[in-house]
Each structure stands twice: as C-alpha cells, then as structure tokens.
Amino acid sequence: MIQINELSFGYHKHTPILENICFDIEKHQCIAVLGNNGAGKSTLLKCINGIMRPQQGTVLVQGKDVLSMHRKEMAKNLAYVAQKNEATKMTVFDTVLLGRKPYIKWEAAKEDYELVEKMIDQMGLNELKLCYIDEISGGELQKVMITRALVQQPKLLLLDEPTSNLDPKNQYEVMAMVQRIAKEQQIAVVVVIHDLNLALRYCDRFLLLKDQKIYAYGGHEIMQEDTISEIYRIPVKVEQYLGVRVVIPIPEGEQVCFV
Amino acid sequence: MQSERESYQQFIRKKIVLLFVLFVLVLILIMVSLAMGTTKLSIREVLLTLIGKGTKRGQTIVYDIRFPRVLAGVLVGGILAVAGAVMQSIMRNPLASASTLGVSQGASFGATIGIIVFGAGVQNSASAAQAVTINSPYIVTICAFIGGGISAIVILLLSRIKQAGPQVLILGGVALSSLFSGGTTLVQYFAEDVQVAAVVFWTFGDLGRTSKRELLLLFIVFLIAFAFFLYHRWDYNALNSGHQGAKSLGVNVEALILSSMVIATLASAMAVAFVGIISFVGLVAPHCMRHFVGNDYRFLIPASAFSGAILLLLADLFARLVVSPVILPIGAITSFLGAPMFLYLIFKGGLRHDTNQ
C-alpha cells in the first residue's frame, strides 16, 4: 500500500500550490487525478516523486518514505512519465533499457536486457525496437515511455497526462494498457488526466483537486453531476450510454437536447 | 525472440565495428603524421624507429620532433571533442562547445593577461622565430583556465538560476565571447609589441609547442575526463529525455551537470592553454558521430574522442604540408576546414536539433 501524508508545496510561503494532501492507494489501483488547470495536478505528481521538493509530507511505499531515499533507490520505487517527452536519436530498445538505469552500475546485465526484451514484447513494440524514437509517432513514443517506466519495476507509476497528445484510438489503447498494467503487475498507478470519459472508463478511484486541496477522493460513487460541475466550474450531465457512464459538459447558455 | 535479440546485438556490433575502424584510422594517421613532413620518412622507417631499430636521424625526427606534436594532436582533439559532446548533453543544446560558450575566448583572454600582465611571454632570443616563446607556460595555462572557468560559471548560472533555454545560453556565450575578445584587444592595445606578438602567436594555436612534461599532463587530463565521462554515459543518455526525465530515472541531475561542466571546462581550458585556440573540433566531431551512432553516449563518447583526434591530425597534416616547410597555424586550419564541413553537414540535413529542449 502507498500512503501520501500531509503533502504541502508552495514556491512562496503565502501562496501554496498544494495544501495538506493525504490519500492512500492500493497496489493494483488506478487513480485519476482530476481538476482544473492550475489546481496542482502536475505539481502533485512531481512532489510525489521528488522532482519538486515538498515543504512537508511523506510518501510511504510499503511503510518507507521514498522522499528521504537516495534518488537511485527512489527510482526503484517510483516511475514517472512526463507530459511531454523529448525525442532524440536513440533507439526504442536503448530508450527502454534506460529504465534499468537505477539498477545499472557499470554495464547493463544480461537480466536487464532480457527484461527489456520481455517488456517490449508485451507492449507490442517489437516491430519498432530498432527505430529511433524521433522517427516514431506520438502514440508510439508514449507507449515506449510507459514501457521504460515499467522496466524500472516500480511500486508506483505516475503518469502526467499520458493521452493529451494522442488521437482517440491511441488514447484508448494507452489507457487500456495502463489499466491492464495496474491489474496484472500489481502496480499502483496515479494518472493526471483531463478527459473525464477516459478516466471514468479506465480508473478505479478519483482524486478531485480544487483550490490546492483535495475536494473529494473515492470510487465511482463520487463522480456525480454536482461534484464534477463544482470541480470544473461548468455544468455537466452524467448519462449511461451503451453501458458506459459518459460525462457531457453543457456550457452555460447552450441548449442540449437529449433524445 | 532469440532472433530479435540477435538483431539488437547486430545493431550494437555495427557500432563497435565503427569504433574499431575509427581507432585504426587514428593509428594510421599517427603513422602518416610521423612519416610526413619536411623530411619524408617511409612508414617502414617509422615502424623500425618505433621499435627501437631505426637510424639516429630517424629517432631524432620521430621521437623529438614529430611524436610530441602528433601526441598533442591526438590528446587535444580527443579532449575538445569529448568535452563538446558532454557539454551538448548537459546544456541540452546542440551548439554547446568550448568555443561557442565563450570558454575558449575566456581562456584566450586569461592567456593574454598571463602573457602581458604577469610577463609570462618575454623576448628571450634575437631570432624572429623564437622571439615570442612563452617562457612560463604554467602561468599562461593557469590564467587560461581561470578565464575559461569564468565563462563556464556564467553559463552554468544562467542555465541553473534563470532556467535559461538553449537559445538564451548560446546568446550568453556570444555575449561572453565578445566581452572577452574586447578585453583581449584592450589589454593588447596597452601592451608592448613583443608581448602582443606573443599573444597573437599563442592565439594561432600550435601543436608543436608542447613539451614532454606537458604532454604527460594532457594525457592525465584526457584520461580523467574520458573515464569520468564514460562512467556517466548512462546518465547522459538519461538526460536525453530532459532534466525531469533523468531525475525520475534516479540521476542526480544537479551534481551531474556541475561535475561534468567543471571537468569539461577544466579539460578544454587546459587543452586550449597548451596549444592555443582550436575551435570547431568540439562542435564538428560529436555531430558527425551522432550521425552514425545516434545520441547514445555509450558510443558517442569514444567515437567523438577518436574523430576529434582524426580531425586534428588531418588539420595538422594539412597545416604542415600545404606550404611546407612553413607550418600554418592549426587553429586557423581547424576553423577554415571545419566550418565548410559543418555547413556541408547542415545542407545535407545530417544534423538535426536532436538535443533541443
């Protein structure tokens, strides 16, 4: 289990970005972090994995505080995929191999290569293995980066808007993949996401951020019309359609006719 | 799955073969450089001399005259190229190198101060050729290192404190270059003719001025820098995905940038201090190699070292042979030949802004 306790962050004392964030995650759960722009979603992810140093708080993974660990140890517990990934002239295989960086001393071991091989195969990236990552598509790059994060063998995987630059097909593929990873490999996943419908479909729990604080945290039951409207400051309808719950935003002054 | 594993191994093997080819090229060029010159020796003579069975004349030419020069070329080329490759990684800027970040110009300013203010370069002989020898190379070297270090610190501060992007860093480098060039001119203006001559002579760049003791020092610097950079090859690869990406892979980014920058600057300032301004090697060598091995620092670091050595050996051969027995200034040759080569690469589209932020 992963516990985030009393996490607070701010650039200046009087303007906090995050205030007293506390929540628990079970190891196979996929948590969606939702909230408006500037609610502190990305900052929360960066604080959890120590890219930004929170003023106070702990992140306990199996009872140990990762924030007080050495970077290398931390990278064995937490993996992070940034919102924008830089593509450079490196092959997919070598990029994924970098996920073993926290374990490599002087040279990558045979086991490292085998794990990379296995993961690339599982993620269906075999065809691309020797392609340079600046030559593949955005969706493929996102999958490569998630694969790299998995090769770190983390307990907690943090994804910052993994679907924001992808077309619908890739959005669904990537999120389905994330859900599958959480279940199969027993990894807790925290994903910052803007698409409510993707979140409703693929995530188990929802962390709603508003005004630097947790507004609500819970399962599907908290995702009601009034809560979502409050968070996003826009009226919404939640409907059941073809067995799937969908959120339909209704900007004020617009008429929407439900048939 | 077995066959796919092999294909990655084949891919890696190709890169290793490339490294081997580059290494052999360096050896061949060393032999050619030892053989060619005002007095031509055959490769056979050179080989015999090297194993201690040559003539007295051959020994003097090979060991006393050409060998220090050739070794200086290999070491300085190697140092500048690996330092350039690493600067490009930690600055996340494809244009970073000792000469584009103002490190060379800072070193040159430092050397000028050393020669003129501290009197390290004085006329000690009546003959024109020796009138401008630097009689206290260590003062010049130390001054050059401090000058180069100042540039490096300013650039580092810009990138860390102001979080400046790649373009801003290069602008900072341009500003520093012009500051130090202006400073150099001003100091020269108030100096005596002989001192100015010593400075100009120093700035030309000359591989032949290094003594055996200095070569040993260069060799040690090269070894330390090369070993340090190679040890951190995985970290530089991680930096390819940005500072945040590298941090989440367990890299201590701040410490890596600081230590790498200190070593890269120290090494290039040292190289420049001993042989004078040699620009473009730090830029051209890593970029050419990126074309072949990609942005993979496991191979890019050794490949850059070899290609830097090759470039400098070629430039030196050109400098010595084209209007023999006059030896042209090596710094001018590297720029004169390096720049068109660089332009050719850009036109061919072989260069992309791979390390752009």
CA-to-CA distance for B332 and B54, rounded, in angstroms?
34
The secondary structure of B302-349 as a DSSP string is: HHHHHHHHHHHHHHHHHHHHTTTTSPPPHHHHHHHHHHHHHHHHHHHT
Of B204-208, B223-227, B311-315, B330-334, the one with minimum mean pLDDT is B204-208
- CATH number attached to the domain at A2-89+147-223: 3.40.50.300
Q: pLDDT class for B1, splitting at 50, 70, 90?
A: very low
Mean of the pLDDT values across residues B294-299? 90
CA distance B11 to chain A (A): 8
Q: Which one, of B284, B318, B304, B302, lies nearest residue B94 by Cα? A: B284
Residue B345 has pLDDT above 60, yes or no: yes
Instruction: Provide the 8-state DSSP code for B40.
Output: -
What local confidence, expressed as pLDDT, does residue B6 receive?
A: 63
Higher pLDDT among residues B39 and B232, named by residue: B232
Q: Which one, of B132, B109, B112, B108, lies nearest residue B122 by Cα? A: B132
Comparing CB atoms, the residue among A74, A85, A98 nearest residue B237 is: A98
Which residue of chain B is at minimal alpha-carbon distance from A72? B250
Does A132 touch chain B if contact means CB atoms closer than 8 Å?
yes
Task: Return the percentage of chain B with pLDDT > 90, whole number.
Answer: 21
Does B119 touch chain A if contact means CB atoms closer than 8 Å?
no
CA distance B276 to chain A (A): 33
What local confidence, expressed as pLDDT, does residue B236 receive?
A: 93
CA-to-CA distance for B164 and B161, rounded, in angstroms?
8
What local confidence, expressed as pLDDT, does residue B353 receive?
A: 47
3-state helix vs strand vs coil in chain B, percent to 5: 75, 0, 25
Q: Which one, of B230, B228, B219, B97, lies nearest residue B151 by Cα? A: B97
Residue B313 has pLDDT above 80, yes or no: yes
Residues of the domain holding B221: 9-348
Query: Which residues of chain A does B7 touch, with a Cβ-Cβ cutoff of 8 Å?
Result: 129-130
Residue A181 has pLDDT above 60, yes or no: yes
Residue A256 has pLDDT above 70, yes or no: no
Query: Which residues of chain A does B240 touch, with a Cβ-Cβ cutoff of 8 Å?
Result: 86, 88, 90
Contact between B81 and B308 under an 8 Å Cβ cutoff? The reply is: yes
Residue A35 has pLDDT above 60, yes or no: yes
Does A104 touch chain B if contact means CB atoms closer than 8 Å?
yes
Residue A24 has pLDDT above 90, yes or no: no
Does A95 touch chain B if contact means CB atoms closer than 8 Å?
yes
Does B251 touch chain A if contact means CB atoms closer than 8 Å?
yes
Amino acid (1-letter code) at residue A204:
D
Coil/strand/helix, residue B59 = helix
Instruction: Provide the 8-state DSSP code for B66.
Output: I
Query: Which residues of chain B does A82 touch, with a Cβ-Cβ cutoff of 8 Å?
Result: 241-242, 244-245, 248
Residue B82 has pLDDT above 90, yes or no: yes
Query: Which residues of chain B does A49 touch, with a Cβ-Cβ cutoff of 8 Å?
Result: 247-248
Mean of the pLDDT values across residues A25-54? 85
Residue A40 has pLDDT above 90, yes or no: no
CA-to-CA distance for B156 and B177, rounded, in angstroms?
15
Task: Return the percentage of chain B with pLDDT > 70, whole number.
Answer: 89
Residue B226 has pLDDT above 90, yes or no: yes
CB contact under 8 A, B250 and A130: no
What local confidence, expressed as pLDDT, does residue A84 receive?
A: 81
Q: Which tokens hold the place of B7?
A: 């294909």
Query: Which residues of chain A does B244 touch, with a Cβ-Cβ cutoff of 8 Å?
Result: 46, 51, 80, 82
Contact between A92 and A133 under an 8 Å Cβ cutoff? The reply is: yes
CB contact under 8 A, B237 and A99: no
Inter-chain CB pairs, A–B, below 8 Å: 94
CA-to-CA distance for A28 and A172, rounded, in angstroms?
19
Does B234 touch chain A if contact means CB atoms closer than 8 Å?
yes
- Cβ neighbors of B259 (< 8 A, separation 6 or more) are B228
Which residue of chain A is at minimal alpha-carbon distance from B354? A88
Residue A213 has pLDDT above 50, yes or no: yes
Which residue of chain B is at minimal alpha-carbon distance from A91? B294
Strand positions, DSSP E, chain A: 2-12, 15-25, 30-34, 56-61, 64-65, 78-81, 156-160, 188-192, 205-210, 213-218, 236-241, 244-249
Residue A31: strand pairing partners:
A190, A205
List pLDDT tens digits, range B131-178.
455 566 678 778 888 888 888 888 878 877 766 666 777 788 889 999
Residue A239 has pLDDT above 60, yes or no: yes
Cα of first residue to Cα of last residue in chain A, in angstroms, is 45
Comparing CB atoms, the residue among B1, B250, B356 nearest residue A74 is: B250
Q: What is the ipTM of this complex?
A: 0.85
Q: pLDDT class for B303, splitting at 50, 70, 90?
A: very high
Which residue of chain B is at minimal alpha-carbon distance from A46? B244
- The winner for highest mean pLDDT among B25-29, B189-193, B213-217 is B25-29
Which residue of chain B is at minimal alpha-carbon distance from A130? B8
CA-to-CA distance for A215 and A227, rounded, in angstroms?
9
Mutate to test the interface with B, among A72, A101, A125 (most CBs of B within 10 A): A101
The answer to whether residue B94 is domain-embedded is yes
Does A130 touch chain B if contact means CB atoms closer than 8 Å?
yes
Which residue of chain A is at minimal alpha-carbon distance from B236? A98
Query: Which residues of chain A does B354 touch, with a Cβ-Cβ cutoff of 8 Å?
Result: 88-89, 134
The total number of structural domains in chain B stands at: 1
Does A228 touch chain B if contact means CB atoms closer than 8 Å?
no
Query: Which residues of chain A does B237 touch, with a Cβ-Cβ cutoff of 8 Å?
Result: 90, 94, 98
Q: pLDDT class for B355, splitting at 50, 70, 90?
A: very low
Residue B196 has pLDDT above 60, yes or no: yes
Residue A259 has pLDDT above 60, yes or no: no
What local confidence, expressed as pLDDT, does residue B266 receive?
A: 80
What local confidence, expressed as pLDDT, does residue B211 receive?
A: 76
CA distance B4 to chain A (A): 8
For residue B295, the domain's CATH number is 1.10.3470.10
- Cβ neighbors of B124 (< 8 A, separation 6 or more) are B130, B131, B133, B135
Q: pLDDT class for B4, splitting at 50, 70, 90?
A: low
CA-to-CA distance for A182 and A5, rounded, in angstroms?
22
The answer to whether residue B2 is domain-embedded is no
CA-to-CA distance for A230 and B334, rounded, in angstroms?
66
CB contact under 8 A, B294 and A90: yes
Domain ranges of chain A: 2-89+147-223
Residue B130 has pLDDT above 80, yes or no: no
What local confidence, expressed as pLDDT, does residue B131 receive?
A: 46
The dihedrals phi and psi of A219, each to the nearest 5 degrees, come to: -85, -160
CA-to-CA distance for B67 and B208, rounded, in angstroms?
9
Does A117 touch chain B if contact means CB atoms closer than 8 Å?
yes
The answer to whether residue B160 is domain-embedded is yes
Mean of the pLDDT values across residues B236-249? 87
- Cβ neighbors of B16 (< 8 A, separation 6 or more) are B299
Comparing CB atoms, the residue among B5, B290, B355 nearest residue A117 is: B5
Does A126 touch chain B if contact means CB atoms closer than 8 Å?
yes
Q: Which of residues 280-309 of B touch A (CB under 8 A)?
A: 290, 294-296
List pLDDT tens digits, range A112-127.
888 888 888 888 888 8
Q: Between the CA atoms of B112, B117, B121 and B122, what dihedral angle is there, to the nearest 10 degrees?
A: 140
Write down the mean pLDDT value for chain B: 81
Mean of the pLDDT values across residues A61-89? 86
